[in-house]
Amino acid sequence: MDKLLEELIRVPGVPGYEERVRALIRERLPEGVPTATDAMGNLVATLGSGEQALMFVAHMDEIGFVVSEVRDDGHLKLTPLGGIDPRTAFGRALRIVTANGEILGVVGVKPPHLMEERAKETKEVPPVTDFLVDIGASSAAEAAELGVKVLDFAVLDKTVRMLNGKFVCARALDDRLGCYVVLRALERLRQDSFRWKVHFAFSVQEEVGLRGATLLARQHELDLAFAVDSTSAADFPGVPTDRSNARLGEGTCLRVLDQATVIPPAFREELTELAAAEGIPLQLVFGGGGTDARPFQLEGPRVMSLAFPVRYTHSAVELAHVDDVEQTIRYVCAIARHYAGAVG
Protein backbone atom coordinates (compact mmCIF):
# COMPACT_ATOMS: atom_id res chain seq x y z
CA MET A 1 0.00 0.00 0.00
CA ASP A 2 1.35 3.39 -1.02
CA LYS A 3 1.58 5.63 2.04
CA LEU A 4 0.39 8.70 0.15
CA LEU A 5 -2.70 6.89 -1.11
CA GLU A 6 -3.54 5.63 2.36
CA GLU A 7 -3.15 9.14 3.81
CA LEU A 8 -5.44 10.58 1.14
CA ILE A 9 -8.08 7.93 1.79
CA ARG A 10 -8.02 8.28 5.56
CA VAL A 11 -8.21 12.08 5.81
CA PRO A 12 -11.89 13.09 6.17
CA GLY A 13 -13.49 15.69 3.91
CA VAL A 14 -17.10 15.96 2.77
CA PRO A 15 -18.56 18.60 0.42
CA GLY A 16 -17.81 22.05 1.82
CA TYR A 17 -15.47 20.64 4.47
CA GLU A 18 -12.45 19.74 2.32
CA GLU A 19 -9.84 21.79 4.20
CA ARG A 20 -8.04 18.78 5.70
CA VAL A 21 -7.75 17.10 2.32
CA ARG A 22 -6.54 20.33 0.73
CA ALA A 23 -3.90 20.81 3.43
CA LEU A 24 -2.57 17.28 2.90
CA ILE A 25 -2.41 17.71 -0.88
CA ARG A 26 -0.66 21.08 -0.57
CA GLU A 27 1.86 19.48 1.78
CA ARG A 28 2.55 16.67 -0.73
CA LEU A 29 2.92 18.89 -3.80
CA PRO A 30 6.46 19.07 -5.21
CA GLU A 31 8.41 21.98 -3.81
CA GLY A 32 8.40 25.13 -5.92
CA VAL A 33 5.27 24.42 -7.96
CA PRO A 34 3.06 27.57 -8.06
CA THR A 35 -0.36 27.10 -6.48
CA ALA A 36 -3.54 29.09 -6.01
CA THR A 37 -6.64 28.54 -3.88
CA ASP A 38 -9.91 30.31 -4.67
CA ALA A 39 -12.57 31.49 -2.24
CA MET A 40 -14.55 28.28 -2.65
CA GLY A 41 -11.57 26.12 -1.73
CA ASN A 42 -10.40 24.69 -5.07
CA LEU A 43 -6.63 24.16 -5.19
CA VAL A 44 -4.72 24.53 -8.47
CA ALA A 45 -1.02 23.80 -9.13
CA THR A 46 0.44 24.89 -12.46
CA LEU A 47 3.37 23.90 -14.65
CA GLY A 48 4.44 25.73 -17.79
CA SER A 49 3.22 28.96 -19.34
CA GLY A 50 1.74 30.24 -22.56
CA GLU A 51 -1.52 31.33 -24.13
CA GLN A 52 -3.05 27.85 -24.29
CA ALA A 53 -3.93 25.73 -21.28
CA LEU A 54 -5.23 22.37 -20.21
CA MET A 55 -6.41 21.14 -16.84
CA PHE A 56 -6.61 17.83 -15.02
CA VAL A 57 -9.09 17.94 -12.13
CA ALA A 58 -9.86 15.46 -9.34
CA HIS A 59 -12.35 16.20 -6.59
CA MET A 60 -11.33 16.23 -2.94
CA ASP A 61 -14.72 15.65 -1.33
CA GLU A 62 -16.30 12.34 -0.38
CA ILE A 63 -19.88 11.49 0.44
CA GLY A 64 -20.69 11.84 4.13
CA PHE A 65 -22.91 13.48 6.69
CA VAL A 66 -23.42 16.55 8.85
CA VAL A 67 -24.84 16.50 12.36
CA SER A 68 -28.35 17.97 12.17
CA GLU A 69 -29.37 17.50 15.81
CA VAL A 70 -27.91 16.64 19.19
CA ARG A 71 -30.76 15.00 21.06
CA ASP A 72 -31.48 15.34 24.76
CA ASP A 73 -30.55 11.66 25.20
CA GLY A 74 -27.08 12.26 23.69
CA HIS A 75 -27.76 10.61 20.34
CA LEU A 76 -27.07 12.46 17.09
CA LYS A 77 -29.20 12.87 13.98
CA LEU A 78 -27.65 13.25 10.52
CA THR A 79 -28.21 14.84 7.13
CA PRO A 80 -26.52 13.21 4.13
CA LEU A 81 -24.09 15.07 1.88
CA GLY A 82 -23.88 13.42 -1.54
CA GLY A 83 -25.38 10.25 -2.96
CA ILE A 84 -25.38 7.96 0.07
CA ASP A 85 -27.06 4.57 -0.12
CA PRO A 86 -28.35 4.07 3.46
CA ARG A 87 -27.68 0.31 3.19
CA THR A 88 -23.94 1.04 3.17
CA ALA A 89 -24.01 3.10 6.38
CA PHE A 90 -26.65 1.42 8.56
CA GLY A 91 -25.06 -0.31 11.53
CA ARG A 92 -21.57 1.05 10.80
CA ALA A 93 -19.05 3.10 12.72
CA LEU A 94 -18.60 6.80 11.94
CA ARG A 95 -15.87 9.34 12.57
CA ILE A 96 -17.40 12.65 13.71
CA VAL A 97 -15.03 15.55 13.07
CA THR A 98 -15.33 18.23 15.74
CA ALA A 99 -13.38 21.38 16.54
CA ASN A 100 -11.65 19.33 19.26
CA GLY A 101 -10.72 16.43 16.98
CA GLU A 102 -12.38 13.22 15.81
CA ILE A 103 -14.61 11.04 17.95
CA LEU A 104 -16.14 7.66 17.18
CA GLY A 105 -19.85 7.01 16.84
CA VAL A 106 -22.00 4.12 15.65
CA VAL A 107 -25.25 4.06 13.71
CA GLY A 108 -27.53 2.12 16.04
CA VAL A 109 -29.48 -0.91 14.82
CA LYS A 110 -32.37 -2.54 16.64
CA PRO A 111 -31.44 -6.21 17.26
CA PRO A 112 -33.85 -8.88 15.99
CA HIS A 113 -34.40 -10.01 19.59
CA LEU A 114 -36.24 -6.75 20.28
CA MET A 115 -38.27 -6.51 17.09
CA GLU A 116 -42.02 -6.80 17.18
CA GLU A 117 -42.31 -7.78 13.49
CA ARG A 118 -38.98 -9.45 12.79
CA ALA A 119 -39.82 -10.72 9.30
CA LYS A 120 -40.71 -7.19 8.20
CA GLU A 121 -38.21 -5.11 10.17
CA THR A 122 -35.12 -7.11 9.22
CA LYS A 123 -35.78 -6.24 5.57
CA GLU A 124 -36.07 -2.50 6.18
CA VAL A 125 -33.29 0.09 6.06
CA PRO A 126 -34.29 3.53 7.33
CA PRO A 127 -33.34 6.72 5.49
CA VAL A 128 -30.21 8.49 6.70
CA THR A 129 -32.31 11.20 8.34
CA ASP A 130 -33.80 8.52 10.64
CA PHE A 131 -30.40 7.18 11.77
CA LEU A 132 -29.57 7.52 15.46
CA VAL A 133 -25.84 7.85 16.12
CA ASP A 134 -24.59 6.62 19.49
CA ILE A 135 -21.40 8.38 20.67
CA GLY A 136 -21.52 6.97 24.18
CA ALA A 137 -23.16 10.08 25.62
CA SER A 138 -26.26 9.95 27.77
CA SER A 139 -27.27 13.60 27.42
CA ALA A 140 -26.85 16.61 25.17
CA ALA A 141 -24.58 18.13 27.80
CA GLU A 142 -22.29 15.10 27.73
CA ALA A 143 -22.23 15.22 23.92
CA ALA A 144 -21.23 18.88 24.16
CA GLU A 145 -18.40 17.93 26.53
CA LEU A 146 -17.13 15.60 23.80
CA GLY A 147 -17.08 18.60 21.48
CA VAL A 148 -20.01 17.63 19.24
CA LYS A 149 -22.27 20.33 17.86
CA VAL A 150 -24.73 20.79 15.04
CA LEU A 151 -23.04 21.09 11.59
CA ASP A 152 -20.01 19.05 12.57
CA PHE A 153 -19.40 16.54 9.80
CA ALA A 154 -18.95 12.78 9.80
CA VAL A 155 -17.63 10.06 7.50
CA LEU A 156 -17.69 6.29 7.64
CA ASP A 157 -14.83 4.87 9.69
CA LYS A 158 -12.32 3.68 7.11
CA THR A 159 -10.24 0.56 6.83
CA VAL A 160 -7.78 0.41 3.93
CA ARG A 161 -7.07 -3.12 2.71
CA MET A 162 -5.29 -4.93 -0.09
CA LEU A 163 -7.03 -7.96 -1.65
CA ASN A 164 -4.93 -10.61 -3.35
CA GLY A 165 -2.00 -8.23 -3.55
CA LYS A 166 -3.48 -6.27 -6.46
CA PHE A 167 -6.77 -4.69 -5.40
CA VAL A 168 -7.04 -1.71 -3.06
CA CYS A 169 -10.25 -1.69 -1.03
CA ALA A 170 -11.51 1.31 0.96
CA ARG A 171 -14.16 3.98 1.34
CA ALA A 172 -13.43 7.19 -0.62
CA LEU A 173 -11.47 5.78 -3.57
CA ASP A 174 -13.97 8.07 -5.30
CA ASP A 175 -12.13 10.35 -5.63
CA ARG A 176 -9.05 10.29 -3.40
CA LEU A 177 -7.65 7.82 -5.91
CA GLY A 178 -8.13 10.52 -8.54
CA CYS A 179 -6.29 13.01 -6.32
CA TYR A 180 -3.50 10.45 -5.98
CA VAL A 181 -3.29 10.00 -9.76
CA VAL A 182 -3.05 13.77 -10.34
CA LEU A 183 -0.41 14.18 -7.63
CA ARG A 184 1.74 11.34 -8.93
CA ALA A 185 1.44 12.61 -12.51
CA LEU A 186 2.50 16.08 -11.37
CA GLU A 187 5.56 14.58 -9.69
CA ARG A 188 6.55 12.79 -12.92
CA LEU A 189 6.00 15.90 -15.04
CA ARG A 190 7.72 18.31 -12.67
CA GLN A 191 10.96 18.48 -14.68
CA ASP A 192 9.28 18.82 -18.08
CA SER A 193 9.07 22.13 -19.91
CA PHE A 194 5.69 23.01 -21.39
CA ARG A 195 4.67 25.57 -23.98
CA TRP A 196 1.15 25.53 -22.53
CA LYS A 197 -0.05 26.02 -18.99
CA VAL A 198 -0.79 22.63 -17.46
CA HIS A 199 -3.06 22.94 -14.45
CA PHE A 200 -3.47 20.21 -11.83
CA ALA A 201 -6.66 21.02 -9.94
CA PHE A 202 -8.29 19.58 -6.85
CA SER A 203 -11.93 20.59 -6.72
CA VAL A 204 -14.53 20.91 -3.98
CA GLN A 205 -18.19 19.93 -3.71
CA GLU A 206 -18.30 17.55 -6.67
CA GLU A 207 -20.60 15.14 -4.86
CA VAL A 208 -23.33 17.78 -4.44
CA GLY A 209 -23.49 19.11 -7.99
CA LEU A 210 -20.00 19.63 -9.48
CA ARG A 211 -19.89 23.04 -7.81
CA GLY A 212 -16.16 23.58 -7.41
CA ALA A 213 -15.50 22.58 -11.01
CA THR A 214 -18.18 25.03 -12.16
CA LEU A 215 -16.16 27.87 -10.62
CA LEU A 216 -12.88 26.53 -12.05
CA ALA A 217 -14.41 26.35 -15.51
CA ARG A 218 -15.41 30.01 -15.30
CA GLN A 219 -12.08 31.15 -13.87
CA HIS A 220 -9.75 29.49 -16.39
CA GLU A 221 -9.59 29.85 -20.14
CA LEU A 222 -8.85 26.31 -21.26
CA ASP A 223 -8.39 24.45 -24.50
CA LEU A 224 -8.72 21.01 -22.88
CA ALA A 225 -10.08 19.75 -19.56
CA PHE A 226 -9.90 16.25 -18.10
CA ALA A 227 -11.80 15.04 -15.05
CA VAL A 228 -9.83 12.29 -13.29
CA ASP A 229 -12.41 10.21 -11.46
CA SER A 230 -13.81 6.74 -10.96
CA THR A 231 -16.26 4.91 -13.18
CA SER A 232 -18.54 2.22 -11.80
CA ALA A 233 -17.59 -1.27 -12.94
CA ALA A 234 -20.28 -3.90 -13.36
CA ASP A 235 -17.91 -6.87 -13.60
CA PHE A 236 -19.40 -8.77 -10.69
CA PRO A 237 -22.40 -11.09 -10.33
CA GLY A 238 -25.88 -9.64 -10.20
CA VAL A 239 -25.36 -6.51 -12.32
CA PRO A 240 -26.46 -6.39 -15.98
CA THR A 241 -23.48 -5.65 -18.23
CA ASP A 242 -25.54 -3.13 -20.21
CA ARG A 243 -25.38 -0.79 -17.19
CA SER A 244 -21.60 -0.41 -17.50
CA ASN A 245 -18.88 -2.09 -19.55
CA ALA A 246 -15.90 -1.10 -17.34
CA ARG A 247 -13.81 -3.97 -15.97
CA LEU A 248 -11.12 -3.98 -13.31
CA GLY A 249 -7.61 -4.89 -14.43
CA GLU A 250 -8.18 -4.08 -18.10
CA GLY A 251 -6.73 -0.58 -18.12
CA THR A 252 -7.65 3.05 -17.72
CA CYS A 253 -10.93 4.31 -19.15
CA LEU A 254 -12.30 7.04 -21.35
CA ARG A 255 -15.72 7.74 -19.93
CA VAL A 256 -17.28 8.76 -23.21
CA LEU A 257 -20.97 8.65 -22.27
CA ASP A 258 -22.76 9.23 -18.97
CA GLN A 259 -25.65 11.29 -17.64
CA ALA A 260 -23.61 14.50 -17.66
CA THR A 261 -21.53 14.42 -20.83
CA VAL A 262 -21.44 12.97 -24.31
CA ILE A 263 -17.97 13.09 -25.87
CA PRO A 264 -17.71 13.76 -29.63
CA PRO A 265 -16.25 10.81 -31.55
CA ALA A 266 -13.35 12.80 -33.06
CA PHE A 267 -11.84 13.63 -29.66
CA ARG A 268 -12.44 10.09 -28.47
CA GLU A 269 -10.49 8.80 -31.47
CA GLU A 270 -7.61 11.21 -30.84
CA LEU A 271 -7.21 9.99 -27.30
CA THR A 272 -7.61 6.35 -28.31
CA GLU A 273 -4.78 6.72 -30.83
CA LEU A 274 -2.57 8.39 -28.22
CA ALA A 275 -3.11 5.52 -25.76
CA ALA A 276 -2.25 2.98 -28.45
CA ALA A 277 0.93 4.86 -29.38
CA GLU A 278 2.00 4.88 -25.72
CA GLY A 279 1.11 1.21 -25.13
CA ILE A 280 -1.51 2.12 -22.53
CA PRO A 281 -4.41 -0.36 -22.26
CA LEU A 282 -7.64 1.56 -22.69
CA GLN A 283 -11.34 0.95 -22.16
CA LEU A 284 -14.09 3.04 -23.75
CA VAL A 285 -16.86 3.04 -21.17
CA PHE A 286 -20.36 4.28 -20.52
CA GLY A 287 -22.40 4.44 -17.36
CA GLY A 288 -24.54 6.52 -15.03
CA GLY A 289 -23.77 9.59 -13.00
CA GLY A 290 -21.45 12.37 -14.07
CA THR A 291 -18.09 13.98 -13.37
CA ASP A 292 -16.43 17.38 -13.20
CA ALA A 293 -16.06 17.26 -16.99
CA ARG A 294 -19.60 18.59 -17.42
CA PRO A 295 -19.17 22.21 -16.26
CA PHE A 296 -15.98 22.55 -18.29
CA GLN A 297 -17.72 21.31 -21.45
CA LEU A 298 -20.36 23.99 -21.00
CA GLU A 299 -17.64 26.66 -21.03
CA GLY A 300 -16.19 25.60 -24.39
CA PRO A 301 -13.02 23.46 -24.10
CA ARG A 302 -12.86 19.89 -25.33
CA VAL A 303 -13.33 17.61 -22.34
CA MET A 304 -12.95 14.00 -21.32
CA SER A 305 -13.35 11.99 -18.14
CA LEU A 306 -10.23 9.91 -17.53
CA ALA A 307 -11.42 7.16 -15.26
CA PHE A 308 -10.20 4.18 -13.31
CA PRO A 309 -12.82 1.43 -12.89
CA VAL A 310 -14.13 0.86 -9.36
CA ARG A 311 -16.43 -1.86 -8.06
CA TYR A 312 -19.03 -1.10 -5.38
CA THR A 313 -18.80 2.71 -5.75
CA HIS A 314 -20.23 4.85 -2.94
CA SER A 315 -19.93 1.95 -0.51
CA ALA A 316 -17.50 1.23 2.33
CA VAL A 317 -15.68 -1.36 0.19
CA GLU A 318 -14.87 0.41 -3.07
CA LEU A 319 -12.41 -1.74 -5.00
CA ALA A 320 -9.82 -0.75 -7.63
CA HIS A 321 -6.99 -2.60 -9.40
CA VAL A 322 -3.50 -1.19 -8.84
CA ASP A 323 -2.55 -1.75 -12.51
CA ASP A 324 -5.44 0.46 -13.65
CA VAL A 325 -4.22 3.20 -11.34
CA GLU A 326 -0.69 3.07 -12.77
CA GLN A 327 -2.01 3.14 -16.34
CA THR A 328 -4.14 6.19 -15.51
CA ILE A 329 -1.07 8.02 -14.16
CA ARG A 330 0.84 7.13 -17.34
CA TYR A 331 -2.07 8.34 -19.46
CA VAL A 332 -2.27 11.71 -17.68
CA CYS A 333 1.45 12.21 -18.32
CA ALA A 334 1.12 11.20 -21.97
CA ILE A 335 -1.78 13.59 -22.55
CA ALA A 336 0.07 16.50 -20.94
CA ARG A 337 3.17 15.88 -23.05
CA HIS A 338 1.23 15.33 -26.26
CA TYR A 339 -1.06 18.36 -26.13
CA ALA A 340 0.97 20.85 -24.09
CA GLY A 341 4.10 20.35 -26.17
CA ALA A 342 6.61 19.17 -23.59
CA VAL A 343 10.22 19.60 -24.62
CA GLY A 344 13.03 18.03 -22.60
- Architecture of the CATH domain 64-156: Beta Barrel (2.40)
What residue segments make up the domains of the chain, in order of their start?
3-62+171-339, 64-156
| pLDDT value of position 217 | 96
Of 3.40.50.1220, 3.40.630.10, 3.40.50.261, 3.40.1710.10, the CATH number of 3-62+171-339 is 3.40.630.10
Q: What is the pLDDT of residue 286?
A: 87
Give the contacts of 28 (CB within 8 A, at least 6 positions apart): 4, 7, 183
Q: Give 33-54 as a DSSP string.
A: --EEE-TT--EEEEE--SS-EE
The reported pLDDT for the residue numbered 241 is 75
Residue-level pLDDT at 174: 92
What sign does the CA torsion over 324, 330, 332, 338 have? negative
Ordered DSSP codes for 236-284: STTS-GGG----TTS-EEEEEESSS-B--HHHHHHHHHHHHHHT--EEE
In a structure prediction context, what are the per-residue pLDDT tens digits for the chain, which is 344 residues long? 689 999 999 999 999 999 999 999 999 999 999 999 999 999 999 999 989 999 999 999 999 999 999 999 999 999 999 989 999 998 899 999 999 999 999 998 777 776 667 777 667 788 999 999 999 999 999 999 999 999 999 999 999 999 999 999 999 999 999 999 999 999 999 999 899 999 999 999 999 999 999 999 999 999 999 999 999 998 888 887 777 888 999 999 999 988 888 999 999 999 999 999 999 999 999 878 889 999 999 999 999 999 999 999 999 999 999 999 999 999 999 999 999 985 54
How far apart are the C-alpha atoms of 57 and 77, rounded to whole Å?
33
